[in-house]
Amino acid sequence: MSAVNRAAVEAVLRQYTDPYLNQDPVSAGCVRAIDIQGDRVTVRLELGYAAGLFKSGWAQMLQMAVEGLDGVASAKVEIDCVIAAHKAQAQIPGLANVKNVVAVASGKGGVGKSTTAANLALALAREGARVGILDADIYGPSQGIMFGIAEGTRPKIKEQKWFVPIESHGVEVMSMAFLTDDNTPMVWRGPMVSGALLQLVTQTDWGNLDYLVIDMPPGTGDIQLTLAQKVPVAGAVIVTTPQDLALLDARKGVEMFRKVNIPVLGVVENMAVHICSNCGHAEHLFGEGGGEKLASQYGVELLASLPLSMLIREQADGGKPTVIAEPDSQIAMVYQELARHVGARIVLQEAVSQAMPNITVSDD
């Protein structure tokens, strides 16, 4: 029986690819310690994204691989998820108590953006992260309904200057709907809307969040520009349907975020296919492959593709989005995959930006 060394353990770990970081744990810098005591090996890994539902299976797979090494009698792989604050736009100060801001946006309305934002926030929370969601759709706020918060609920005021977010399903929620009457339309011009958004972002007493998901209004107007100029956004998720008109507007959304130096983490395609509940026939009502084409065109990832499902709509309308209503369902698992991919893409975006060389110009 040969003696085990660190190089042999690392060589085994390099044979396995983290499906979210698209790298092996050694190359991704996840290895924190390798402890070898005779024929016993303990490996400690640290993931920079929320992966509570994934890490035990990942640890078991790696443990079996290390135990297959000649000279190893037993192995133990421990995995922790430690989420750090990542780089946002230059010269914009970070938000107090918020590590990473994720904007969920769409070029046009009616593509399921708010439903995606709600399920993303809930999925991140299920993965073990501390999460908040801000409903920035000032004209048509809907997160209060989706999180089952009763009409007329008002946030508490702390020290006469902070809104205390309302907690639901383990997520901190803040929305303009909590400050107005549900039946009163917001007849505001752009500057008033932008001011309201900034107040909601900066005057909410968030509680040490790993991720703040911002449900953006559709389009590329005042609110989006205010967000880009005043709020430190780690990355944006673009939601679309396969329909050509939706894709046209989604492209504008991608271009806008790129122009203001906010990385686009990827694309979510909603209503990709309809499965008949009676006969099981699959039909692409809004076209096919649109999200994949958009992602390919801009060199980003198709993070998730979701069906046109009555259940998704009914569960959101009922105050229990799919991730909470049916956590073990196939659709909920798609949202969990989305959450892990979003967290990992934020980590990868920072790694890319750090690898880019600085360009200097001299008079020589």
Helix (DSSP H) and strand (DSSP E) numbers for the chain: 11, 15
CA separation for the pair 49, 171 (Å, rounded) = 17
> In this structure, is residue 134 part of a structural domain?
yes
Which among 55, 81, 107 is the end of a domain? 81
Give the HSE-up count for residue 1: Cα atoms under 13 Å, Cβ half-sphere. 9
> In this structure, is residue 87 part of a structural domain?
no
> In this structure, is residue 363 part of a structural domain?
no
Is 197 in the same domain as 245? yes
| Residue-number span of the structural domain to which 11 is assigned | 6-81
CA separation for the pair 2, 314 (Å, rounded) = 60
| CATH code of the domain in which 243 resides | 3.40.50.300
Is 71 in the same domain as 152? no
Q: What are the pLDDT tens digits along the chain (364 aa)?
A: 467 899 999 999 999 999 999 999 999 999 999 999 999 999 999 999 999 999 999 999 999 999 999 989 999 999 999 999 988 877 788 888 999 999 998 876 778 899 999 999 999 999 999 999 999 887 778 899 999 999 888 999 998 889 999 999 999 999 888 877 665 555 666 677 778 788 888 899 999 999 999 998 877 677 788 888 888 999 999 988 876 666 777 787 788 888 888 999 998 988 775 565 566 545 554 445 556 666 777 677 889 888 877 788 889 889 999 999 999 999 999 999 999 999 999 999 876 655 544 444 444 4
| CATH code of the domain in which 25 resides | 3.30.300.130
Binding residues: 107-114
The predicted pLDDT at position 11 comes to 95
Is 176 in the same domain as 299? yes
Q: Name the domain count of the chain.
A: 2
Is 204 in the same domain as 60? no
211 to each of 13, 121, 197, 255, 342, how far by Cα in Å?
29, 8, 18, 24, 10
CA separation for the pair 9, 75 (Å, rounded) = 10
> In this structure, is residue 92 part of a structural domain?
no
The secondary structure of residue 204, as a DSSP letter, is B
The predicted pLDDT at position 352 comes to 64
Binding residues for ATP: 107-114
